[in-house]
Structure 1
């Protein structure tokens, strides 16, 4: 052995961290299968907290999350919120126990890749690994294939739930993170992007989200999780709003300004009284997550991604 040029350590080549393709495939495959049948622990906890906060008598909540009286809202069906939340939690238990999809709409898969410059995937291009893991997980899990090959002309199902939408971020370091969302379209159909005036301010952002949820009503299968992207361009704000959905509930924005805005939006949406299943009550949203990006001096893009209670997400890290 030439001691001046020793063999690289296992998993390292020319200063790059090597991650085998099959390891990535297996962990992604497992995560994608699991996210469709096991509701994330943070979502289950939020649903249980919502159930405890509702009044069995009339579906109303005595107080808002801030402790002040709830805003006026349409009349609710007696006990409806409790019934819906109990049903959702029971459904989640059955899905996990029987290893069945928690919803018949097993979604369009979005993938967010954060790859360090000092990471190399060994054996197969990363996009092929991702495609293979999705197709195999949906086939083996007997999940519904929900993707058509052409959006307008001859909408024929691809039969594999492919392709996904893959977003890449290249960053410093030697880590690799892959986050997956199975995005159902009952809620996606009510997501919106708005181009606000640059002087609009936070009140206009709150109003944009409230109007989005007023339009959605119970059709988006509330209680929902809201991902909000602010900044960039029209398309970039939408991307941010999807990425925000990967965060755990309770993982608030690191900037106190946006953390407060998340809380304002949460209170405003819950004050609408749409409630679980759209049948009234105090919990319309389980969480609000904001992501931001620099933008042009002449604009204020705001995107709202509406996600139903079945927030199916998997994040795999190396």
Structure 2
């Protein structure tokens, strides 16, 4: 059985928190660059140029791409043959987040209670998702989630009779209502199926899926393409100034659901769609 020490997990989480905030991922940079090449609206081109320049400054000067360094979402894929030793896994994750936000000079945005609003002063606790998988893999993805985009997310419990038409209409409605608020061009994560909470979880996972990956199900791969085209026809454009580029990607994840339900959740990521991954 493979053993992983909690100290190694803490060290890795610390670095991933910093990397995700400092360095624009390659897939997002490619999407932004290609979108810039296709734009015909000068203002949209200029905004995309500035986004890329901002990312270059952040990388070169080792500073956050955005002042909102997010609430830290951590996805853990842990193999059944992995034994975590030396302490609590959850404590190790939160220690890594605290260290990353302190050492990386990242804004600490988490409050202890949603009503009292007292800052925890270390950006913990993280939002942690665990997946048990086969083998001895231990994969960590850190995705700092800013709330300019998070606040634009919605969920709706559609009726089965609403069908595909209702699903499309709801997704487009969410993006229209979001407008410029989530700092477009955006990544649109969609979760369809399961229960109320499962749909939201699927949407969150879809929002951090690499934008160059399409759904493994041909029907949903085509739906992703169709929805992206429809969203980009809305003309919201980069930072809301108009143009062809409102969405960099639409990612859809699905799950079986009840005969009486059709849950649909939309989780929006800003143009940075920050995430960093490492396998131990």
For the superposition of Structure 1 and Structure 2, which TM-score range results when normalised by the shorter chain? over 0.9
Aligned 8 A contact 1:20 1:122 in 2: yes
Moved more, 171-180 or 294-303: 171-180
For residue 53 of structure 2, what is the aligned residue in structure 1? 90
Tell me the residue number matched to 2:102.
139
Quote the Cα distance in structure 2 between the aligned partners of 1:159 and 1:20: 26
After TM superposition, list the pairs within 5 Å mapping 1:183-262 onto structure 2: 183-262=145-224
Write out per-residue CA displacement over residues 147-173 of structure 1, whole angstroms, 9 at most, x where no aligned residue. Answer: 111111x21111000111111122222
Deviations 1:250-270 (A, max 9, x none): 100001011011111111111
1:124 corresponds to 2:109: no
Task: Give the structure-2-normalised TM-score.
Answer: 0.97
Partner of 2:25: 40
Q: Distance in 1 between matches of 2:79 and 2:47?
A: 43
Deviations 1:39-94 (A, max 9, x none): 10110110000110001xxx1xxxxxxxxxxxxxxxxxxx2101110110000000
Equivalent of 1:149 in 112, 125, 130: 112
Report the Cα offset of residue 200 of structure 1: 2.1
Higher deviation after alignment, 36-45 or 176-185 = 176-185
Task: Specify the SS of the correspondent of 1:112.
Answer: strand
Paired position in structure 2 for 1:71: none
Q: Distance in 2 between matches of 1:254 and 1:171?
A: 19
**Higher Rg:** 1
Correspondences of 1:1-318 after superposition (within 5 Å): 16-55=1-40, 59=41, 79-152=42-115, 154-318=116-280
Query: RMSD across aligned C-alpha pairs, in angstroms?
Result: 1.0
TM-score, structure 1 length as denominator? 0.86
Mapped contact 1:275–1:281 kept (Cα < 8 A): yes
Q: CA deviation at 1:191?
A: 0.3
Distance 1:33 1:205 in 2: 36
Q: CA deviation at 1:238?
A: 0.5
Matched residues in 2 for 1:290 and 1:119: separation? 30
Question: Is the 1:206–1:264 contact (alpha carbons within 8 Å) kept by the matching residues of 2?
Answer: no
Alpha-carbon deviation of 1:110?
Answer: 1.0
State the 1:175 CA deviation. Answer: 1.1
In structure 1, what is the Cα distance between the partners aligned to 2:259 and 2:182? 34
Listed as ranges, the gaps of 5+ residues in structure 1 are 1-15, 60-78
* Number of aligned positions between the proteins: 280
Segments of structure 2 that go 5 or more residues without pairing to the other structure are none
